[in-house]
Chain A
Amino acid sequence: MKSKKENNKQQFNIPLGYFESFENRLLTELKFQELFPNKNDGFSVPAQYFEKVEQVILNQNKPKGKLVEYNFKTIAATVAAIAAVLLVLFNVVNPIEKEMQFDSLSITSLENYFEEEERVQDYLSAEELSTIENSTSIFDNETVSEELIYEYVDQDIVQSSLLDQ
């Protein structure tokens, strides 16, 4: 049967080199305690310091009303809302333009629109187109050359009709 001492040896481990360093650490500690038998650092504070400093700290950290934290999103949203309100007010006080009516368009601007617009017939009825043509100079005979007419009319149809004659 194993002795209790041997059993302990097997059950517990110790850090490597523990007993070698133990003596050294013990002697250092004893020497230190011999040099400084009293644990005192020699520092002191002004009279009543701790009573005063507590009051100073509590006064510094008194709640000063509800703090509102601003961030970029909040500021941006606020600025945008103010700008929108100002824009609406400005338009109400100084309207820039009335609602656009067809009658208010000048003939020149209509002509420019139709010259630039290639598929105008897709958007206007035949009756509307006829009305516009009668109201503008773009389709006047004086302004349409023969070449333009030939280009406009299918050449094959013209030629076949001439041959028939």
Chain B
Amino acid sequence: MNNLEIHTIESLKFEDLVSEYKERLYWHIRRMVISHDDADDVLQNTFIKVYKNLHNFNGESQVYTWLYRIATNESLTFIKKRKRTTHISNEEVQESLVTNLTSDPYFNGDDAQLKLQQAIDTLPTKQKQVFVMKYFDELQYNEISEILGTSEGALKASYHHAVKKITEYVTAH
């Protein structure tokens, strides 16, 4: 169990949450929005929302899954807003970001990692979320279920489909 999942409501301090969770939330957000600058904005928005709603946290979920849910929602809101302001589809924006990863100063992956990002980019939003949470963030299905509000059975099916599609994409390219 994560050492911070034993936090009680009474012991929640905003400074501690930022200190403990900023990196994990950043990487989750970064894998969703791709660009570092965008991830930086979304991370700050996430903690602003956490700060404003800290008194509303009722302890029914783990602290981490609560934070993760806010970060996930903020990422999706950001992606939707970006679609409205740029007047081009999310898929086109994401494709452009992934295509330009080679020129991104904060991407230093090799060819395999670049292909992996391109393959992830082809996935539907839900499958992408499940894959990122399971594979990179190493969350348990019950935690992902709590964050996304989807049954564990459906999550397992989504993850399997995602892995299969990625494997097929990388093999074909």
A residues contacting B by CB (< 8 A) are 25, 28-29, 31-32, 35-36, 39-46, 49-50, 53-54, 56-58, 60-61
Is B9 among interface residues, defined by CB-CB distance under 8 A?
no
B interface size (C-beta, 8 A)? 37
Q: Is B160 in contact with chain A by the CB < 8 A criterion?
A: yes
B14 is contacted by which of A35, A53, A61 (Cβ under 8 Å)? Answer: A61
Minimum CB–CB distance for A31 against chain B, Å: 5
Q: Please report whether the interface of chain B is mostly helix, strand, loop or mixed according to DSSP.
A: helix
- Between A32, A49, A57, the greatest number of chain B beta carbons within 10 A of the residue's beta carbon is seen for A57
Counting CB contacts under 8 A, is B166 at the interface?
Answer: yes
How many A-B pairs have beta carbons closer than 8 Å: the answer is 81
Which of A42, A50, A56 is the one whose CB lies under 8 Å from B108?
A42
Which residues does chain A contribute within 8 Å of B48, judged by CB atoms?
57, 60-61
Chain B contacts with A in 12-26, Cβ cutoff 8 A: 14-15, 18-19, 22-23, 26
Residues of B close to A29: CB separation below 8 A:
163
Known contacts: A56-B44, A57-B44, A61-B47. The answer to whether A50 contacts B116 by CB under 8 A is no
Which B residues between 107 and 131 are near A, CB-CB below 8 angstroms?
107-110, 112-114, 116-117
The interface centre, meaning the residue of A43, A46, A49 with most chain B CB atoms within 10 A of its CB, is A43
Do residues B109 and A41 form an inter-chain contact, with CB atoms below 8 A? yes
